């Protein structure tokens, strides 16, 4: 998450809050023991892309802001402390330009999760 689109400075407060919410969601849905993966069918990856779509809809991420696969990987590993099972390069190769990876069931779970916050 960035505090200023022009300078791309990381917004530590927003990042920490959203990381905490993402971890809570993973825990509630039995996904908190998962590691990073370069698989498009990984529930963890499906969940993070559902969160990105939610954050965009709610204005937490600016609509025009491109979220790189590398930034997603760093959010998962550095901010959420999810175990690394793949390298950032492998993750990037699979997920770069992949925000259209939609999953209605996961989108509904994310919307329901935030509706109760």
Mean pLDDT of the chain: 90
pLDDT at 95: 87
- Judge whether 105 and 47 are in contact, CB under 8 Å: no
- What percentage of the chain has pLDDT greater than the value 70? 91
Domain boundaries, the chain: 35-117
> Angle between the 12-28 and 104-115 helix axes, to the nearest 10 degrees?
110
pLDDT at 96: 80
With 80 as the cut, is the pLDDT of residue 44 above it? yes
Task: Find where tokens 């994310």 sit.
Answer: 110
pLDDT in tens, 60-98: 887 777 788 999 999 999 999 999 999 999 999 888 866
In this prediction the pTM is 0.89
């Amino acid at each position: 998450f960035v505090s200023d689109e022009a300078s791309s400075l990381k917004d530590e407060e927003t990042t920490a809050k959203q990381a905490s919410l993402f971890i809570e969601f993973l825990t509630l849905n039995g996904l908190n023991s998962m590691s990073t993966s370069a698989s498009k069918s990984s529930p963890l990856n499906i969940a993070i892309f559902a969160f990105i779509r939610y954050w965009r809809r709610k204005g937490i991420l600016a609509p025009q802001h491109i979220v790189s696969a590398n930034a997603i990987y760093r959010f998962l590993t550095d901010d959420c402390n999810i175990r690394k099972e793949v390298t950032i390069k492998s993750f990037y190769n699979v997920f770069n330009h992949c925000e259209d990876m939609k999953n209605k069931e996961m989108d509904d779970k994310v919307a329901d999760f935030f509706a109760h916050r």
